[in-house]
Amino acid sequence: MEFLLHLRELSNSVNFFHVFLRVELILSLLNPIVQTHLRK
């Protein structure tokens, strides 16, 4: 039972990590666009 609880916490943290990676990727893609717009 306790093992399942740990597994659930692990999957939650993994999901959070995936979301975090996705946000980082989006930001890294948007950054050059924002930079070029600010330069004008």
Q: How many domains does the chain have?
A: 1
For residue 32, give the amino acid letter: P
Joined together, the tokens standing for residue 10 give 């692990």
Tokens 């996705």 map to which residue?
A: 22
Q: Which two tokens stand for residue 28?
A: 């890294």
Predicted local distance difference test score (pLDDT) of residue 39? 84
Q: What is the pLDDT of residues 1-40, one digit of tens each?
A: 788 999 999 999 999 999 999 999 999 999 999 999 988 7
For 8, the domain range is 1-40
